Structure 1
Amino acid sequence: MDGTPQEITSLVGREVYSNNGVFVGEIEDVQLNLDAQQVTNLAVGELNDELFSSTVSPGEGVLIPYRWVRAVGDVVLINSTIERLKEPEEAEEAAV
């Protein structure tokens, strides 16, 4: 448990990718549940415009539930669920 705070702060600045290899954004902060002593959410900014342009204003970020995280290394891998935010119908309408 001695290394936990250092490990948590080391998440900040890491890039987040879906497990399909799509860039999602960069971790700016970490939300904690102090009672349970666990990470609950990742605050992600520098977002991939293709995924978030229809749902998030430029310069804003999103909270990604930590339960979506599949692996933490040089980058953080999350479930591909995030890619479903971009609806195919919306993409086609925007192109017209």
Structure 2
Amino acid sequence: MLRIKKLSDVLGKNVYTSDGDYFGQIEEVNLVDNKIDGWRIKVGSGFMNLLGGARGVIIPQQFVKAIGDIFIVNKSSLPLREESMEMNASEEVDLN
């Protein structure tokens, strides 16, 4: 059954990754044509280093797996710094 929540009830909720790691808290919602486009999340200290020191990140709505007492986002959708560094290193190797 689909439950409808007010956006004001969702702000401040804790956000966890699909692996169960604490990611942060919902700060703001981005609306486009009265539809949810994305969520601005204040990143917790555990992920701040992985995001290059960023204090917040915008997650598109399509990567949100569940909204209830907590938010669950797909971990593979997060722009983690380690992944981008590995991708850059592999691209450099391919060019040589």
What is the TM-score when the length of structure 2 is the normalising length? Answer: 0.69
SS at match of 2:51: coil
Give the share of equivalent positions with the same residue, in percent.
26
1:39 match: 36
SS of 1:9's equivalent in the other structure is helix
Query: Which of 1 and 2 has higher RCO (CA within 8 Å, sep 6+)?
Result: 1
Q: Structure 2 unaligned runs (5+)? A: 86-96
Q: Distance in 2 between matches of 1:41 and 1:84?
A: 14
Partner residue, 1:19: 18
Cα distance change of structure 1 residues 56 and 30 upon mapping to structure 2, 3 Å threshold = farther
RMSD: 2.6
Distance 1:76 1:31 in 2: 16
TM-score, length of structure 1 as denominator length: 0.69
Q: Which runs of 5+ in 1 are unaligned?
A: 91-96
Give the number of the structure whose alpha-carbon radius of gyration is greater.
2
Paired residue total: 82
Alignment check: 8 A CA contact 2:29 2:36 kept: yes
Contact 1:51 1:86 in 2 (8 A): no
| 1:76-95 correspondence runs (5 A) | 76-82=71-77, 85-87=80-82
